[in-house]
Each structure stands twice: as C-alpha cells, then as structure tokens.
Structure 1
Amino acid sequence: AGIPRDRPWLLATVHRRENQGAALDGVLAALAVLAAEAEIILPVHPSPAVAGPVRAALSSRPHVHLLSPLPYAAFVALMGQAAVVLTDSGGVQEEAPAIGLPCLVLRAVTERPEGVAAGNALLVGRDPAAIVAAARRVLADAGLRAAMAEPSLPYGEGGAARAINDLLLGVARSRAAPSSPRSSGSWSRSAVHHQ
C-alpha cells in the first residue's frame, strides 16, 4: 500500500545472527544504494539486533519501505509482486523458486544449494558491492531474470506427506491382516500324526 509501481520492487529480509553487526551494516548499505534504482521493501525483524540498525540506516531513505513483520499469506503475496528478493532466510530460499521469484541469497554459504543449482537463486554473500552488482545485473538482464523466474520445485513437489501417509497405512494394514498359514517347516498336529 502506497508503494510506487513505476520502479521495480526489491523485497529484502535479513535476520540471521551471522548477518548482524558489521555484516548487517554492509547489507543495509547495499540496500541504501539500490534504493536509487528500485523500491526497497523490508519487513523488519523484531530482534533489537536487527530492528535498531535497520531503522537507523534506512528509515529516512527515500524509496525504502520498512514494514512490520507480516503474516505468512501477506508476505507470500508481497513476494508475488516483487522483481527480486534479497534474503538470508532459508524459508524464503525455498519459496522463491516455487513462485518464480529471482532470489539473491545474502549469505556466504547456504544449506539450501538446490535453489542455486536450479538457477533460481544466486549466492551473493554480504559484501555491499557484490550485493549491489548482483541486484543490478538481475534487474538489467531480462534473459537472466526470466531464467531465474522460471518456477521450479528444487526442494520437492509437496508429495512427501502423502507418500509417508501411504507407507504408514500400508504397514498398518499388513500388520492388521490375518496371519498367513504356517509354512511347511513349522510344527503342526497333522505333521505329528504322519510321522
């Protein structure tokens, strides 16, 4: 609401402990630079180690929109309107490829490399110059942006719960089934009478 639509929207989230302190200052410096070219939308994490520096660095910047934390559905709806997401969130790294949102990962390493391997995400780190360069490249290169925006499901297609349920029901049914007849090697009365 009230965010201009004549410029691209860059959605940003940052909250990890590894991105606090000097690392957070670098990410915020990059977002301040990018605000000259795009609308920066940042739901602010409530942690004082994040909220204080974010508000100090960006609250007075034009084209920066600091939001309160959003309910999940509202955040996903916002993702659907953004041109790029810059994030250190593992969950956002998983969701962005599914909805076709190019994702710039603000971490040195990620435990979710599948999005990078699928081409939906780029691991850009926390250096301000690298963040700015990656965001500019994705915004300027329509071919790259289109490739990154091709929806994919690198983390699975959502059928795991059904497969587990079917497996458990199959095991439960097999245990509830009547016992099978005894094998020929087992003792029975008839075998005793024929000896």
Structure 2
Amino acid sequence: MMKIMSVFGTRPEGIKMAPVVQALEQDPDIESIFVNTAQHRDMLDQVLHLFDITSDYDLNLMKEGQSLEDLTNRLIDKVSKVIEKEEPDLVLVHGDTTTTFVGAYAAYLQKVPVGHVEAGLRTHNIYSPFPEEINRQLVSKIATYHFAPTNRNKENLLRENVSGDNIQVVGNTVIDALLEISRRTSNLPNELENILATGKKTILLTMHRRENLEALQSVYRAIHRIVAANDDVQVIFPIHKNPVIREMALDEIGGNTDIYLIEPLEYEQFIHVMKNVYLIITDSGGIQEEAPGLGIPVLVARDTTERPEGVEAGTLRLVGTSEDIIVLETQRLLSNEDSYKMMSEVQNPFGQGDSANKIVAYIKRNVGQGLLVSK
C-alpha cells in the first residue's frame, strides 16, 4: 500500500488541502498521513473541524511573536523526525508558506520525493509577496511532482527547466472546497445576516499581507472616501489578528457606521458572506481564485499578483494601494453596470471543482513508475 504524507499548517493550506486529504483517505490503496504543523493554530483548527479532518501528528508550532527564523528552525527539526519515522513514499506540500518550504526541504534531506500542490505560481519578485514568492520558487527546485492549477503555471515551471512529464495541470483545489461549502446551508450570525439584508451594496475588504503594512493608511482612506460618496454602500472588514493592522484600522475607519469591523470569520461563514457581497477589495491570494467561482469581481490591492490568469480573464483587476486608484476603480464598478458584468460573468479560470480527484489519480498512476525519484 502506498503511503502519502501531507504536511501543512496554515488556514489557507488547510482549506486547499482538505479536498486532497479527503480524497486520499477515501482511497483503499493509499495510507494517508497528515502532519499538522499548526503554524496557524485556531484558524486552522476551525477548517479541520469543518471538513472533519484529524491530524496524525500535531506539531503545535504556533508561538506568539515568533520570527520566521525561529519558526523555520523549529519546523525543520520536528518535521524531519516525523518523516524519518513514517518513511512515506511521497510528501505533499501546498503553496508557499514556511511550512511548505520546510516540509519539502525536510523530505529532500531524506531523499523522499515531494509533490507540490498549487505549483508554478509566480510574481518573479522574491520580495513580493514576502516570503511566499521565494518559498514557492525554492519548493519548485526540490519537488519532482508538480500540480499546476493552470497552463500559465505550467509554462512558468517549464521556463525553469522542470520536466513537462512531471507537471500535471489540475485546476486549483480551493474551488473543490469552495463549491462543497457553498452548497451547505448558511449559518451566519444574526448580526451579519442583518448587515447583508440592508439592501446596500456590500464591499468585502480583507488586508493582511506583510508588504502592505506601510500602505494600509492609503487603503483605509480610500475605503472612507468610497463610503462617504455612496449612501447605498457599506463595507464588511474581518480584521486580521495582526495587532498593527487592528490598531490602524480602528484609528482610520473605526468610527464610520457604514464600515463594519468584525473578527475573522470561520471559513464556512466567510464563503457565505462572499456569496452575498457586491465586490471584494483584497490583498489575499486565495480570494482571487474563490470569488470568481461565485461571480464576484475582485480588486486586488497589490502591485503584483501570482494569479495573472484572473486579470487576463477579467475576473480580477490589479489596483495596487494608491488611494485615488482604488477609489476610481471601485466607483467604476459601483456605477457602471456594463463594467460590473464584464467582471462578474466571466468563467472562473482557476478550476471546476475536480482537482483533488485528479491529483490522487495521477499519484496512483505515477508513484513508483519512474517519474519520481526513488527513496
């Protein structure tokens, strides 16, 4: 029986790997081992509960105020010990977190093949986003097995001399998760139900990237101007746990009665809020893939994106963090119905909801068949 180890530990990884872990666990020919680094503690626990997934190893590495250097050191020690004990046939990592890089590197040191889910995303600027871009590039150098969401991602890998035989375009597993959760009955708190029922156009705001901290004031001023200029617009802002983001948000927009600052939402609730908003302003990566699946336009408050397929398809618009540009582009979508339809009615370029099954099928066909480096 094939033994496949999945290593992840953040909320976004949990959302996108949950369909893969479920598919692995349901296959009678696979022994699935899930190592939870708990790089995010409470936020990931919510996701695992939502998808009814239990870890085989919980490394409990969440530590308040820890540096990336400290996290990396602790990860390499603990993940290596688990790999040494379990001797998996393949280690799966996802995306671009510190857990992703260390999981891949620890497997490499023990000559265990690595599969990279969500491979080939690039901004080609190693400091944007930081440290995610360099993590994904490093993992591509280590991995043998590359699951690319789109053909653009595959082309990125081919340009970096990754063998085409070891790249499989599968779509993004986040769409698998999105469609599963969106079909469930909404369980939003009454407070949120009441906000969404006002009849106003709701903008969902999410901002958390490290590289955007210095630009937050500009974004907040833009949000304030948008609400002031439109009586029929309101904003919901689930504030990240980062104390710097929280303090600045309270100072800049905390007193506006049409801007609702709320605690971070559980994933299921967040999906049902997304289903009911008019547009989204974000610096998140995953939302750029999820929102188009629900027909919601996205303004990306970053200077770069590793998801250019959404920009090219027309579901995303890259607006940076300039106050004036954010106001201009938001007003365009609020007032111009044709502009709104051009973004909201485009087919999602990031997948159709069958990515996890494609990944597992490909693993079963190819592990031990010569494509992967043997242990």
Shorter-chain TM-score tier: 0.7 to 0.9
Larger Rg: 1
Match of 1:9 in 2: 202
Map 1:125-164 → 2, pairs under 5 A? 125-164=320-359
Q: Which residue of 2 aligns with 1:56?
A: 251
Number of the residue aligned with 1:114: 309
List per-residue Cα deviations over 1:76-131 (Å, max 9, x = no partner): 11111110100000011110111110000000111111111111111011000100
Shift of 1:167: 2.7
> How far apart, CA to CA, are the structure 1 residues paired with 2:202 and 2:226?
10
Over 3 Å counting, the alpha-carbon distance change for 1:132 and 1:174 in structure 2 is closer
Name the aligned partner's letter for residue 268 of structure 2.
A
C-alpha deviation, 1:49, in angstroms: 1.6
Runs (5+) with no aligned partner, structure 2:
1-190, 371-375
Counterpart of 1:18 in structure 2 is: 211
Counterpart AA for 2:296? L
Instruction: State the one-letter code of the partner of 1:108.
Output: D
% same residue: 35
Paired residue type of 1:98: G
Determine if contact 2:315/2:348 at 8 Å carries over to the other structure. Answer: no
Q: Distance in 1 between matches of 2:267 and 2:323?
A: 28
Choose from 52, 57, 67 the match for 2:262.
67
Tell me how large the CA RMSD over aligned residues is.
1.8
Deviation at 1:6, TM superposition (A): 3.0
Q: Give the 3 Å change call, closer, same or farther, for CA 86–174 of structure 1 in structure 2.
A: closer
Which has the larger displacement, 68-77 or 33-42?
33-42
One-letter identity of the residue aligned with 1:28? Y
Counterpart of 1:120, as a letter, is T
What letter corresponds to residue 26 of structure 1 in structure 2?
S
Give yes or no for the alignment of 1:35 onto 2:35: no
Classify 1:169/1:64 alpha carbon distance in 2 versus 1 (closer, same or farther; 3 Å).
same
- Mind listing any 5+ residue stretches in structure 1 that lack a counterpart? 176-195
- Is the contact made by 2:204 and 2:281 (CA closer than 8 Å) also made in structure 1? yes
| 8 Å contact from structure 1 (residues 87, 104) kept in 2 | yes
Structure 2 letter corresponding to 1:168 = I
Contact 1:99 1:151 in 2 (8 A): no
Change (3 A) 1:34 1:165: same
- How has the CA–CA distance of structure 1 residues 49 and 173 changed in structure 2, closer, same or farther, with 3 Å as cutoff? closer
Q: Which is worse superposed, 155-164 or 125-134? A: 155-164
* Matches of 2:367 and 2:221, distance apart in 1: 57
- Which of 270, 278, 282 aligns to 1:83? It is 278
Hey, what does 1:98 align to over in structure 2? 293
The DSSP-based 3-state class of the residue aligned with 2:352 is: coil
Higher relative contact order (CA 8 A, sep 6+): 1
CA contact (8 A) 1:34 1:40 kept: no
**Secondary structure of the residue that 2:281 maps to in structure 1?**
strand
Report the CA distance between 1:169 and its aligned residue: 2.8
Quick one: which amino acid aligns to residue 158 of structure 1?
G
SS at match of 2:240: coil
In structure 2, give the amino acid aligned to 1:27: V
Matched positions, count: 174
Deviation at 1:28, TM superposition (A): 0.4
Q: CA–CA distance in 1 between the matches of 2:354 and 2:203?
A: 31
> Quick one: which amino acid aligns to residue 64 of structure 1?
I
Q: Is the 8 A contact 1:98 1:151 kept in 2?
A: no
Contact kept, 8 Å, 1:27 with 1:127, in 2: the verdict is yes
Q: Distance in 2 between matches of 1:76 and 1:143?
A: 25
Distance 1:172 1:106, change over 3 A: closer
SS at match of 1:35: helix
